[in-house]
Amino acid sequence: MAAAITLFIVLSLVVFIVQLGAAALRQTGLPNAMSRFQALSAFTGTGFTTSAAEAVVNNSSRRHIVSILMIVGNVGLVSILSTVVVSLTHAGREGDFWDQAGWHLVVLVLIWVLALNPRADRLIYNAIGALLRRTAFFEERGPHVLLQLPGGTGVYSVTAPEGAADTVGDRVPEGVQALGLRRQDGTYVDRPGGKETVSAFDELILYGPDRVLSKL
């Protein structure tokens, strides 16, 4: 039972750290799905693809976040494996072994449910975002390339600066299309109209010429 509690604590920390890293990456302008994948990839040391890796290494804040996740990930994975191995090898009788295995399974299910809880994810994202915005952790927020297209066009992520209180029409230049608006509370507006309000740290997904979007 003690081993199961230890495993629960270790796994809870692991899930929290990965969600923390994903929330931090989202604050730099990465989409939700990509930030989760990159955080998990960095923590486990696997899974980087070329285009996704470029989106990370080209930004100093993202490199910092990923480096921390990679270092902490090595310690976390070793702790999990050692806890499981020690608890199972010290189960003297066959019944004790299956009891320990059963507790470990229960722990894994609980952690899995918590990891997929959207309310928990939103709470962590908002809390981490508020904390990081009050530090000097991030470099100046600029446009981030999400998709490079032929013909000198692309899809960019642009985060509204602190104190912003205007509309999509005010922030989107002529010749650029607003594909989406991700607000700080996690809600997403598909193809927002020109009168849609934009608040501080909201993320606009824009499509248009590179020469225009790169200067936003």
Please tell me whether residue 197 adopts helix, strand or coil conformation. Answer: strand
Alpha-carbon torsion (6, 9, 13, 16), positive or negative: positive
CB 158 within 8 A of CB 143: yes
Q: Tell me whether residue 139 is in a domain.
A: no
Q: Which residue has the tokens 């200067």?
A: 215
Please tell me whether residues 90 and 170 are part of one structural domain.
no
Q: Over the stretch 41-75, which tens digit does the pLDDT of each residue have?
A: 888 777 655 566 666 766 667 778 888 888 877 76
Mean pLDDT, the chain, whole residue set? 75
Q: Tell me whether residue 197 is in a domain.
A: yes
Q: Over the stretch 67-117, which tens digit does the pLDDT of each residue have?
A: 888 887 776 666 666 766 665 565 555 456 566 667 667 766 776 666 667
Q: Tell me whether residue 185 is in a domain.
A: yes
- Count CB atoms within 10 A of the CB of residue 168: 20
Please tell me whether residues 76 and 157 are part of one structural domain.
no
Q: Tell me whether residue 154 is in a domain.
A: yes
81, two tokens = 């494996």
- Look at residues 83, 108, 105 and name the one whose alpha carbon lies nearest to residue 12: 108
Please tell me whether residues 47 and 82 are part of one structural domain.
yes
Please tell me whether residue 120 adopts helix, strand or coil conformation. Answer: helix
Please tell me whether residues 103 and 148 are part of one structural domain.
no
Q: Tell me whether residue 153 is in a domain.
A: yes
Model pLDDT, residue 17: 80
Q: Tell me whether residue 112 is in a domain.
A: yes
Q: Is 73 exposed, middle or buried (CB count within 10 Å of its CB: 0-12, 13-18, 19+)?
A: buried
- What helix, strand, coil percent values describe the chain, rounded to 5? 55, 15, 25
Note down the domain range covering 15: 2-133
Q: Tell me whether residue 102 is in a domain.
A: yes
**What is this structure's pTM?**
0.53
Strand partners, 198: 166
Start-end of H helices in the chain: 2-27, 32-44, 50-57, 60-89, 94-115, 118-133, 168-171, 210-213
Please tell me whether residues 125 and 195 are part of one structural domain.
no
Please provide the DSSP assignment of 133-144 as one string.
Answer: HTSS-S-----E
Please tell me whether residues 103 and 179 are part of one structural domain.
no
Q: Pick the residue with more confidence: 92 or 208?
A: 208
For the chain, how many structural domains are there in total?
Answer: 2
Model pLDDT, residue 167: 93
211, two tokens = 């020469």
